Homo-oligomer: A and B are copies of this chain.
Amino acid sequence: MRESELIERLESLFQSSSPRVIRGIGDDAAVVRGAGYAVVSVDAMVDGVHFRGSQLSPGEIGHRALAGALSDLAAMGSSPGEAYLVLGLPHGSDRDDTLAIAEAVQQLAVRHGVAVLGGDVTASPCLTVSVTVIGWVADPGMVVGRDGARPGDRIAVTGSLGAAGAGLALIDASVPADELADEVRAALRERYARPEPRLAEGQLLAELGASSMIDLSDGLAHDAAELARRSEARIELSLAALPLAAGVEQVAARLGADPRVFAATAGDDYELCVSVPGAAADRLQAAWPTASAELSWIGTVVEGRPGLVFSDAEGELTGYEHSF
């Protein structure tokens, strides 16, 4: 397929009916009616660095790239608006694979009310999917940064941890899947291959008084340490309090790892880690909808030297080593 043909196919795929879009794909730039403050993030995923093309379907690669970018908006408490896609395609890329990447991007986008308004398609030595996302907030005071954690705050995470890391271990075949029920294995793979950005939860946490927030892409031990660093605060977490995803215990055992250390250090879960002022925590928990991903309270912000400690860990935790 010639580049112009591909671009035509992408143009017709990424039609948007958003009333805020003045000009979409097909011009030098897109034009969108702004709505207060723009919240902007860019996330690049490169074959061999952030995933292995041989291990994921084209649709999973596309989904994962947009999900990773949207997760950054979730972590600011922002609703999503538009996305712009850069596809770097190796020589000889299959046209159907390329369209499958784009279709998965569009499906996830539509589900979250995101308009995909353009981007760039280029040759590249390896498959690269880079996504710019823009969200809009009416009040910049409602945006939650990484720097607002204060002593007395309580720390929570959404959902469950370790699933994506366990899913990757299964995909890598470094762990035989025989001991896991089919549906558990499939769920772990799905958490790695098609993570769901916690957009609704992020906005709710912002509304209900979160003081700082970050999404878990590099693993809790890394990302909570970043909250501590940016907030100049001391965060104390408990490994025992971490919510493990189903199957993580078995996978970690086969890797010879402590399951809670594994869950704290494996990346790609795209859950949210949040600090909440002590006075607001009970109110937040009471107001938390049962339909949302569960909240687990895993620690507190204490007085003392800035940094992250696990009160019940032996030694310092470092990132779980991915196989690539």
One digit per residue, 1 when the CB lies within 8 angstroms of any chain B CB and 0 when it does not, for chain A 61-98 equals 00000000000110110100010111010000000000
Asked if residues B28 and A76 are in contact (CB atoms below 8 Å), the reply is yes
Asked if residues B130 and A40 are in contact (CB atoms below 8 Å), the reply is no
Asked if residues A37 and B31 are in contact (CB atoms below 8 Å), the reply is yes
Which of under 10, 10 to 19, 20 to 34, or 35 or more describes the interface residues of A? Answer: 35 or more
Across the two chains, which residue of chain B brings its CB closest to A45? B122
Does A145 have its Cβ within 8 Å of any Cβ on chain B? yes
Does A22 have its Cβ within 8 Å of any Cβ on chain B? yes
Question: Roughly how many angstroms separate A266 CA and B36 CA in the complex, as a whole number?
Answer: 42
Asked if residues B29 and A123 are in contact (CB atoms below 8 Å), the reply is no
Asked if residues A125 and B126 are in contact (CB atoms below 8 Å), the reply is yes
Asked if residues B118 and A23 are in contact (CB atoms below 8 Å), the reply is no
Asked if residues B46 and A39 are in contact (CB atoms below 8 Å), the reply is no
Mark the stretch among A100-108, A131-139, A255-263 that contacts chain B.
A131-139
Q: Given the interface contacts A29-B39, A38-B31, A41-B118, does A128 sit within 8 Å of B124 by beta carbon?
A: yes
User: For A36, what are the chain B residues with a Cβ–Cβ distance below 8 Å?
Assistant: 33-34
Across the two chains, which residue of chain B brings its CB closest to A49? B123
Does A117 have its Cβ within 8 Å of any Cβ on chain B? yes
Does A208 have its Cβ within 8 Å of any Cβ on chain B? no
Identical chains in the assembly: 2
Asked if residues B28 and A146 are in contact (CB atoms below 8 Å), the reply is yes
Q: How far is the CB of A192 from chain B (nearest CB, A)?
A: 18
User: For A145, what are the chain B residues with a Cβ–Cβ distance below 8 Å?
Assistant: 23, 27-28
Q: Given the interface contacts A42-B86, A86-B130, A143-B31, does A37 sit within 8 Å of B22 by beta carbon?
A: yes
User: For A214, what are the chain B residues with a Cβ–Cβ distance below 8 Å?
Assistant: 28
Question: Roughly how many angstroms separate A42 CA and B43 CA in the complex, as a whole number?
Answer: 13
Does A120 have its Cβ within 8 Å of any Cβ on chain B? yes
A262-309, CB < 8 A from B = none
Does A112 have its Cβ within 8 Å of any Cβ on chain B? no
Asked if residues A30 and B26 are in contact (CB atoms below 8 Å), the reply is no
Asked if residues A29 and B37 are in contact (CB atoms below 8 Å), the reply is no
Asked if residues B117 and A28 are in contact (CB atoms below 8 Å), the reply is no
User: For A147, what are the chain B residues with a Cβ–Cβ distance below 8 Å?
Assistant: 27
Q: How far is the CB of A303 from chain B (nearest CB, A)?
A: 24
Q: Given the interface contacts A29-B39, A32-B38, A33-B37, does A49 sit within 8 Å of B82 by beta carbon?
A: no
Question: Roughly how many angstroms separate A42 CA and B75 CA in the complex, as a whole number?
Answer: 23
User: For A43, what are the chain B residues with a Cβ–Cβ distance below 8 Å?
Assistant: 120
Does A244 have its Cβ within 8 Å of any Cβ on chain B? no
Set B30, B46, B76: member contacting A40, Cβ < 8 A? B30
Q: How far is the CB of A308 from chain B (nearest CB, A)?
A: 15
* Chain A interface residues (CB < 8 Å from chain B): 22-23, 26-44, 46, 48-50, 72-73, 75-76, 78, 82, 84-86, 88, 117-120, 122-126, 128, 130, 132-137, 140, 143, 145-147, 213-215, 230
Q: Beyond the given A49-B122, A124-B128, A128-B128, could you list 11 further A-B residue pairs with CB under 8 A, ordered by the A residue number?
A: A27-B147, A28-B41, A28-B146, A29-B40, A29-B133, A32-B38, A41-B84, A48-B125, A49-B124, A130-B130, A132-B132
